[in-house]
Amino acid sequence: MTDLYIHDSAARTKRRFEPIDPTHVRIYVCGPTVYDLAHLGNARPVVVFDVLARLLRRRYPKVTYVRNITDVDDKINARSRESGEPIAAITARTTEDFHRDMAALGALPPDVEPRATQHIGEMIALIQRLIANGHAYAADGHVLFSVPSFRDYGKLSGRSTDELLAGARVDVAPYKRDAGDFVLWKPSDENTPGWDSPWGRGRPGWHIECSAMSWKHLGEEFDIHGGGHDLIFPHHENELAQSVCAFPGHGFARYWMHNGMLLVNGEKMSKSLGNFRTVRDILAEGPWAGEAFRLLLLRTHYRQALDFTMDALREAKAELDDHYAMLSRAPEAPGGGAISHLADWVLAPLLDDLNTPLALARLRDLRTLENAVTVGGSPAVAMERAGLSAPPAPGVAAAAFREAAAVLGVAIGDPAAWLQGGADDAAEVEAAIAARLAARKAKNWAEADRIRDDLKAQGVLLEDGPGGTTWRRA
Ligand SMILES: [Zn+2]
């Protein structure tokens, strides 16, 4: 098995992946703050790290993938004040929406999904350790992390202390010893959620939540920490500072992975530009849209900026149409080593820092190879790329396709259901086909042709074969 390399944001280079425990790989990815529907940018890390988790599961006996839910945050409190909806109702509904939307993108649930409000005890314990170690101090109902106490602060994001302080110097709260110090705990009034603590009734800062949940579920040190590029500073810089200072001798995450940003029509998504899109907006395009959006996300390397357009979404759908058409025609494979060999060839680019665009290109080559033996077309170029001297036997390329597609999580549905568009009117189409068959049996060719033309006008194409009539959407 070839080695896996991943780009480590902390080292700013690709590094060979060596898990702390080769029998158990541990990953933490920052999850959503649950106050509103997931937007397109929120979906990107979910899909990227879903592919990483699937790949790791193929290579290692055990993987624990933790993705949290931030259900205590001032954005949630503000939303509740605006709308009058109780906080618990907002967070429960938004968590459910998030689960539904991410499932529609083919993302498997993480192994553990800790909620911040269920880890307040761990947060308090961490803060107490930081105070005892001289890295935090209590002042005026707050507890702050002392940035000057941690020499390596700024290393992850590559910012100098001077830069950090220049940004923080505006409007410094009086209880801060140093302008860069950040909040671990803050006081809550009676209208704000709060928990009893040694520093009075209050609530945690955002950063300490992830340090506490990763510690609880993955230990003082684990393999990979992931998230969006926009989280490197201050969120991940602060998580790292907290965890390393609370547990001296441990390095927190061995590898840091960050996905690039998502643009819409070439611009940063924002409500004021009118290009703000939720995942729910995209799913409303049709039953195909979730999987097409997933494919669209994976067509760009995860570290690059990705530009979402409706044209790109429709292109992704067209690619899936072609994949499913091939799968629906492919015969059962004879079995044997050629299948795994070809699947490994498709997946090999993923070992090079998750190069999904190249893996998807190879998946298309497998489609070409299968089509060459079922419907025709030249397999020469695909054969050369795959290092084959002869085209594979019918069904072999399709079987390899299925094996590799399972790791990418695309084109893994039922081909017939896809080609029929998951249509609500499927029963009507079936009834029309039955009526046409009856007309043909009665040698009423004009009626049979009329039904066929009617369906064609509705975008339904019939194909008569030895096994009967099948249909698909144009
Ligand atoms: Zn986090």
What is the distance in A from the centroid of ligand 1 to the CA of 32? 9
Residue 465 has pLDDT above 80, yes or no: no
- At 355-391, the pLDDT tens digits run 999 999 999 999 999 999 988 889 999 999 999 999 9
Buried b / exposed e over 275-314, threshold 16 CB at 10 Å, is bebbbeebbeeebbbbbbbbbbbbbbbbeeebebeeebbe
What is the distance in A from the centroid of ligand 1 to the CA of 231? 8
* 71 and 138 together in one domain: yes
Report the percentage of the chain scoring pLDDT > 70.
97
Residue range 16-28: average pLDDT? 98
pLDDT for 7: 98
* 413 and 400 together in one domain: yes
Residue 207 has pLDDT above 70, yes or no: yes
* 306 and 372 together in one domain: yes
Q: HSE (CB half, 13 Å, CA atoms) of 213?
A: 27
pLDDT for 448: 92
What is the distance in A from the centroid of ligand 1 to the CA of 232? 10
What is the distance in A from the centroid of ligand 1 to the CA of 31? 7
- How far is residue 35's CA from residue 93's CA, in Å, rounded to a whole number? 9
Residue 29 has pLDDT above 90, yes or no: yes
Binding residues for ATP: 271
* 278 and 320 together in one domain: yes
What is the distance in A from the centroid of ligand 1 to the CA of 82? 26
Pick the last residue of a domain from 259, 275, 291: 259
pLDDT for 369: 97
Residue 195 token pair: 């928990």
What is the distance in A from the centroid of ligand 1 to the CA of 307? 25
Work out the pLDDT band at 189, boundaries 50, 70, 90: very high
* 150 and 45 together in one domain: yes
* 411 and 451 together in one domain: no
Q: CB neighbours of 431 closer than 8 A, spacing ≥ 6? A: none
Residues surrounding ion ligand 1 at CB below 5 Å: 30, 210
What is the distance in A from the centroid of ligand 1 to the CA of 212? 10
What is the distance in A from the centroid of ligand 1 to the CA of 204? 13
Query: What integer best gives the mean pLDDT of the chain?
Result: 94
- At 259-284, the pLDDT tens digits run 999 999 999 998 888 889 999 999 99
* 239 and 285 together in one domain: no
Work out the pLDDT band at 139, boundaries 50, 70, 90: very high
Q: Alpha helix (H) ranges present in 17-144? A: 40-59, 74-83, 87-104, 120-132
What is the distance in A from the centroid of ligand 1 to the CA of 421? 38
Q: Alpha helix (H) ranges present in 105-232? A: 120-132, 161-168, 206-218
Task: State the DSSP string of 378-399.
Answer: --HHHHHHHT-SSPPPTTHHHH
218 near 26, Cβ under 8 Å? yes
- How far is residue 151's CA from residue 155's CA, in Å, rounded to a whole number? 9
Binding residues for Zn(2+): 30, 210, 235, 239
pLDDT for 460: 86
Higher-scoring residue by pLDDT: 111, 439: 111
pLDDT for 403: 96
* 303 and 374 together in one domain: yes
pLDDT for 257: 98
pLDDT for 428: 79
CATH classification of the domain holding 171 = 3.40.50.620
Higher-scoring residue by pLDDT: 468, 406: 406
* 232 and 278 together in one domain: no
Judged by DSSP in three states, 253 sits in strand
Work out the pLDDT band at 160, boundaries 50, 70, 90: confident
The helix-helix angle for 310-329 and 356-374 (nearest 10°) equals 40
- At 214-241, the pLDDT tens digits run 999 999 999 999 999 999 999 999 999 9
Residue 423 has pLDDT above 60, yes or no: no
pLDDT for 422: 65
Residue 36 has pLDDT above 80, yes or no: yes
What is the distance in A from the centroid of ligand 1 to the CA of 298? 23
Residue range 444-455: average pLDDT? 91
* 59 and 177 together in one domain: yes
Supply the range of the domain harboring residue 448: 423-473
Which of 27-31, 155-159, 319-323, 423-427 has the least mean pLDDT?
Answer: 423-427
Residue 93 has pLDDT above 90, yes or no: yes
Pick the last residue of a domain from 379, 397, 418: 418
- At 60-79, the pLDDT tens digits run 999 999 999 999 999 999 99
* 206 and 290 together in one domain: no
Residue range 128-153: average pLDDT? 96
Name the phi and psi angles at 472, rounded to 5.
Answer: -150, 165
The identity of residue 429, as a single letter, is V
* 268 and 240 together in one domain: no
Work out the pLDDT band at 16, boundaries 50, 70, 90: very high
Count structural domains, the chain.
3
Binding residues: 30, 210, 235, 239, 271
